[in-house]
Amino acid sequence: MDHHLTPLDVTQLPSWNALHQHRQDLAGFNLRQAFSDDPERFRQFSHSACGLLLDFSKNLVRTDTLELLVKLAEEAQLGDAIKAMFRGDVINASERRPALHTALRRPIGDKVRVDGVDVMPEVHRVLHQMTELVGYVHNGLWRGYTEKPITDVVNIGIGGSFLGPQLVSEALLPFAQKGVRCHYLANIDGSEFRELACRLNAETTLFIVSSKSFGTLETLKNAQAARAWYLAQGGSEEELYRHFIAVSSNKEAAIAFGIREENIFPMWDWVGGRYSLWSAIGLPIAMSIGISNFKELLSGAYSMDQHFQTTPFERNIPVILGLLGVWYGDFWGAHSHAILPYDYYLRNFTDHLQQLDMESNGKSVRQDGSPVSAGTGPVIWGGVGCNGQHAYHQLLHQGTQLIPADFIVPVSSYNPVADHHQWLFANCLSQSQALMLGKSHEEAEAELRAKGLPEDEVQRLAPHKVVPGNRPSNTLVMERISPRRLGALIAMYEHKVYVQSVLWGINAFDQWGVELGKELGKGVYSRLTGQDEALAEDGSTQGLIDFFRARHRG
Ligand code: F6P
């Protein structure tokens, strides 16, 4: 069944029209009212799985909304599409590939075939290869060119070869093994390189060149700079193998760079960059937290995979989140979605989700190349609470746009300081509460009068104090962040993204849009450096090139 390759038009499904009608019926829906009408609302609209509690009761939904959304998913044949992904069908149609990141977290003994070959033995062979390397480094057996043990690991990579590993290794700092520090070098910016290099000792630093393609400009430039730095610090070409390893599916290019074949960890074309932290791209994670914690991360993701495959849609957490996103984007005109983790350790979560969601679902054509008939992926943005409360939450509360938000918060802190965590948790809950409750004109007036303000002041200030409320959010709560729960949380969002892509009929696993900028970059570079004196295609770019050339000093 190839319906995901010649997708159904979601807007032509009976439930799509029914949802439009339903949206009209909900014009006067009020969350405050819904909660006072139904004391069971929280219980009814919250589910737990894999160590996560999802409270989605503060959404603009009734029971019949959920029923309609679930019906839409059924009409879009989501169940078949989920099976197709886990089975290894070619769901990435433009690149003619399966998307099998889920195979990376399956237990030994499972079978997953790609082109008739079971990939699981290779997946576990690489995990074993990672185990060995991490053990060598952690036990001081992997030595640099002066025989000193490795103290610093630098991951050179960008996009999916950076964001996922950075998120996880920093989120799991309480699990970090002593003795090895992890660093990330992503951007093609000399300042980033210099600021990092001045903190490193070449004798004890191991670079991981992390690039599925081994053709990414930023990564290759940084890898060359790192090699030049290592040589300048006293390292030799002969000992280079002690300081540079690679993770890539392009073995030839990694060897040509000077990396020994046995130090190249494979990647496969059936794992997309933004879904690759579970593979050897996760080496810096394992270097930081140790291989058994890395395996815990995998098993957390695996438990979410099980939940996603086996739970009826109405209780299936990634399915619910995906459907709610479609509900707001296509029926309420929401264009963005805020991700608001209330936890220092999750401070990079939004960055990872930005790539995961926006590179996956930022598409305008369907799998078969025909234009989409509905709005697709939203802008993902946000950042760590409470900082956002003193910055952009104002727009969430009183701006003109409807912006659904996900609040993510652990119940306990690894670092209790006085009553900080109680306050952090209280802030998280009160933000979603304020978004939902708002403040009416009457309430604003009453508040101002209670302060003893004269009536003209009350009338002058009241409109500014009105908060519309009725703004939707999800709250995801867990005990402390652990490798297992974090694995489940990340996998949950991967599946949410997939659910939406299936409904919209788009390919979540290609990213052709980013190629154009890369192609044009070469032409601009040649003109900036005077290798090509031809005028740029447009006056703006040419004007900026001229400005650069007249002033550039280094
Ligand atoms: O340019 C986008 C992208 O292709 C991402 O999809 C990917 O994660 C990133 O670049 C890095 O790619 P690579 O791992 O091949 O260096």
Confidence (pLDDT) at 1: 43
Q: Does residue 129 contact residue 138 with C-beta atoms inside 8 Å? A: no
Confidence (pLDDT) at 508: 98
Check 390, 464, 533, 552 and give the catalytic one. Answer: 390
Kindly state if the Cβ of 290 falls inside 6 Å of ligand 1. no
In tens digits, the chain (554 residues) has pLDDT values of 455 567 899 999 999 999 999 999 999 999 999 999 999 999 999 999 999 999 999 999 999 999 999 999 999 999 999 999 999 999 999 999 999 999 999 999 999 999 999 999 999 999 999 999 999 999 999 999 999 999 999 999 999 999 999 999 999 999 999 889 999 999 999 999 999 999 999 999 999 999 999 999 999 999 999 999 999 999 999 999 999 999 999 999 999 999 999 999 999 999 999 999 999 999 999 999 999 999 999 999 999 999 999 999 999 999 999 999 999 999 999 999 999 999 999 999 999 999 999 999 999 999 999 999 999 999 999 999 999 999 999 999 999 999 999 999 999 999 999 999 999 999 999 999 999 999 999 999 999 999 999 999 999 999 999 999 999 999 999 999 999 999 999 999 999 999 999 999 999 999 999 999 999 999 999 999 999 999 999 999 999 999 999 999 98
Kindly state if the Cβ of 221 falls inside 6 Å of ligand 1. no
Nearest residue to 73 via CA among 503, 458, 377: 503
Kindly state if the Cβ of 249 falls inside 6 Å of ligand 1. no
DSSP per residue over 231-280, as a string? HHTT--STTGGGTEEEEES-HHHHHHHT--GGGEEE--TTS-GGG-TTTG
Nearest residue to 32 via CA among 402, 405, 470: 470
pTM of the model: 0.97
d(CA 120, CA 156): 27
Output the CA 160–ligand 1 centroid distance in Å.
Answer: 6
Kindly state if the Cβ of 212 falls inside 6 Å of ligand 1. yes
Confidence (pLDDT) at 98: 98
d(CA 542, CA 389): 41
Kindly state if the Cβ of 141 falls inside 6 Å of ligand 1. no
Confidence (pLDDT) at 2: 53
Q: Give the closest residue (by CA) to ligand 1 atom 9.
A: 159
**Look-up of token digits 């993770």:** 247
Mutate to test the pocket of ligand 1, among 94, 155, 216, 359 (most ligand atoms within 8 A of CB): 216
Kindly state if the Cβ of 511 falls inside 6 Å of ligand 1. yes
Determine whether 442 is an active site residue. no
Q: Give the closest residue (by CA) to ligand 1 atom 1.
A: 514
Q: Does residue 162 contact residue 120 with C-beta atoms inside 8 Å? A: no
Confidence (pLDDT) at 554: 87
Three-class secondary structure assignment of 283-338: HHHHHHHCHHHHHHHHHHHHHHHHHHHHCCHHHCHHHHHHHHHHHHHHHCCCCEEE
| Ligand 1 atom, smallest distance to 511 CA | 6
Output the CA 88–ligand 1 centroid distance in Å.
Answer: 22
Mutate to test the pocket of ligand 1, among 274, 514, 516, 520 (most ligand atoms within 8 A of CB): 514
Check 218, 296, 359, 445 and give the catalytic one. Answer: 359
Cα 57 to Cα 35, 54, 168, 304: the distances in Å are 9, 9, 29, 21
Q: Give the closest residue (by CA) to ligand 1 atom 11.
A: 159
Consecutive H or E run containing 185: strand 181-185
Output the CA 215–ligand 1 centroid distance in Å.
Answer: 9
Output the CA 158–ligand 1 centroid distance in Å.
Answer: 6
Confidence (pLDDT) at 387: 95
Q: At what angle do helices 483-504 and 291-310 cross, to 10 degrees?
A: 40
Confidence (pLDDT) at 179: 86
Check 83, 335, 441, 518 and give the catalytic one. Answer: 518
Cα 181 to Cα 137, 187, 392: the distances in Å are 11, 20, 33
Determine whether 496 is an active site residue. no
> What letter represents residue 34's amino acid?
A
Range list of H helices, 26-105? 31-37, 41-44, 63-75, 78-87
Output the CA 378–ligand 1 centroid distance in Å.
Answer: 21
DSSP per residue over 385-447, as a string? TTGGGGTTHHHHHHSSS---EEEEEESS-SS--TTHHHHHHHHHHHHHHHHHH-B-HHHHHHH
Output the CA 302–ligand 1 centroid distance in Å.
Answer: 24
Cα 299 to Cα 103, 250, 274, 536, 543: the distances in Å are 12, 28, 19, 51, 54
d(CA 195, CA 183): 11
Kindly state if the Cβ of 273 falls inside 6 Å of ligand 1. yes
Determine whether 390 is an active site residue. yes
